[in-house]
């Protein structure tokens, strides 16, 4: 029996869900979903998936690739000319923003395009701080990364084409590729994917807007007042939790728009994410191009004990302590979520805490490695 203690990690609540082989999913919880109403965290509650959404986007594109609908390595300039089921929108954008022309879909999905991440620009952040509920259009994203006077957050360096650098812009463009190839909106393709694979509790947020009808089912998400984005919500009431006056946060469950389309605009449950990962790993989602999923680019080695790769929409880590782990993490405002699969032990797990972390990944200190030691 796994024992969790949310207070150890300064979190309002923690949910850990685990499945080994084909066994029933086991859930372990600690803490609260709603700190104002004293509602406990529960397995069936929805949460924002953040960058875990990317795996859905990749799956849609590789399923189209299974149908020979496009070439993964065609430059966007050629692809946009061949595929105009979106009434030529992608082609217009490629002509309007020439930086897109040489980039292939593979480079988008493995984060080697060299495109800067829109959310790392000063322009994006200035707008977000003023209007966190703003609905962004495609041109808005591309405008903030284009031109000669683009300024970035302190410490951020744009990537170089051919080398890994995480960028939310890549998956926003990837969602436009889906629409150009099949003529349906990404939201429609996502919902079709969820239906086909019985992800009945998963939702894709059109335009990134949280639907009010989902609120009763949501795990509430909290943003520490010390977070860099907290200034956007300073008119919200400050809440304390865990009986500690030093732990202050804003409830941002419905307070902002999830930008980036195919990058982050989904909500789900831990059970749905585990079901999805298991189907993906068992070659039930992508068939002919299953191996393409794991064609990763190496990331700078942090130590001799580990090597990380970024595949198509997720990470593959070769670790001394835990073996080979396939994983994705979604660190959105109000939520930190982690979805992982142990290749050697055939264990799939989802870890969610309802507070934002600045860093939340396999190699982050604290919560994730502690949970891995318990389940692996």
CATH code of residue 365: 3.40.710.10
Has residue 160 been placed in a domain? yes
How many contiguous H segments (helices) and E segments (strands) does the chain have?
Answer: 10, 15
**Left (φ > 0), alpha (ψ -120 to 50) or beta: where does 292 sit?**
alpha
∠ CA(62), CA(330), CA(184), 5° rounding? 40
Model confidence at 301, pLDDT cuts 50, 70, 90, reads low
Res. 229 pLDDT band, cuts 50 70 90: very high
Residue 206 has a pLDDT of 86
| Mean of pLDDT over the chain | 95
Structural domain for 287, as ranges: 6-375
In a domain, 159, yes or no: yes
Q: What is the pLDDT of residues 124-148, one digit of tens each?
A: 999 999 999 999 999 999 999 998 8
Is 334 domain-assigned? yes
Predicted structure pTM score = 0.96
Q: Is residue 62 part of a domain?
A: yes
In a domain, 111, yes or no: yes
- 303 pLDDT more than 70: no
Cα separation of 65 and 372, whole Å? 34
363 part of a folded domain: yes
| pLDDT band, residue 260 (cuts 50/70/90) | confident
Q: What whole-number distance in Å separates Cα of residue 322 and Cα of residue 14?
A: 22
* pLDDT average, residue stretch 98-126: 97
Does the residue 245 lie in any domain? yes
- Provide the number of structural domains found in the chain: 1
**168 in a structural domain:** yes
């Amino acid at each position: 029996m796994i024992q969790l203690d949310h207070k150890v990690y300064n979190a309002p609540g923690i949910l850990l869900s685990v499945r080994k082989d084909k066994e029933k999913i086991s859930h372990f919880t600690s803490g609260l979903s709603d700190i104002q109403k004293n509602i406990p965290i529960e397995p069936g509650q929805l949460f924002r998936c953040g960058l875990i959404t990317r795996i859905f986007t990749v799956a849609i594109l590789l399923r189209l690739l299974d149908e020979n609908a496009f070439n993964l390595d065609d430059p966007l300039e050629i692809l946009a000319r061949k595929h105009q089921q979106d009434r030529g929108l992608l082609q217009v954008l490629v002509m309007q923003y020439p930086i897109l022309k040489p980039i292939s879909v593979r480079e988008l999905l493995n984060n080697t395009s060299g495109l800067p991440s829109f959310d790392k620009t000063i322009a994006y952040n200035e707008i977000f701080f003023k209007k966190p509920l703003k609905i962004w259009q495609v041109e808005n994203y591309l405008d903030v990364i284009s031109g000669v006077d683009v300024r970035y957050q302190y410490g951020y360096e744009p990537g170089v084409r051919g080398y890994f650098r995480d960028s939310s812009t890549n998956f926003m463009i990837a969602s436009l590729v889906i629409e150009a190839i099949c003529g349906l909106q990404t939201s429609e393709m996502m919902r079709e994917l969820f239906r086909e694979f019985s992800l009945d509790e998963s939702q894709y947020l059109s335009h990134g807007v949280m639907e009010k009808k989902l609120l009763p089912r949501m795990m509430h998400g909290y943003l520490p007042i010390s977070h860099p984005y907290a200034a956007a919500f300073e008119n919200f009431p400050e809440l304390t939790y865990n009986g500690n006056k030093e732990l202050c946060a804003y409830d941002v469950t419905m307070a902002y728009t999830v930008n980036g389309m195919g990058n982050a605009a989904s909500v789900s449950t831990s059970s749905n994410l585990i079901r999805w990962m298991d189907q993906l790993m068992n070659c039930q989602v992508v068939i002919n191009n299953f191996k393409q999923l794991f064609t990763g680019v190496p990331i700078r080695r942090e130590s001799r004990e580990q090597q990380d790769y970024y595949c198509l929409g997720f990470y593959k880590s070769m670790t001394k302590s835990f073996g080979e782990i396939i994983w994705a993490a979604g660190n959105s405002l109000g939520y930190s979520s982690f979805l992982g699969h142990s290749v050697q032990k055939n264990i799939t797990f989802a870890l969610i805490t309802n507070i934002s972390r600045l860093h939340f990944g396999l190699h982050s200190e604290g919560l994730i490695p502690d949970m891995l030691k318990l389940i692996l």
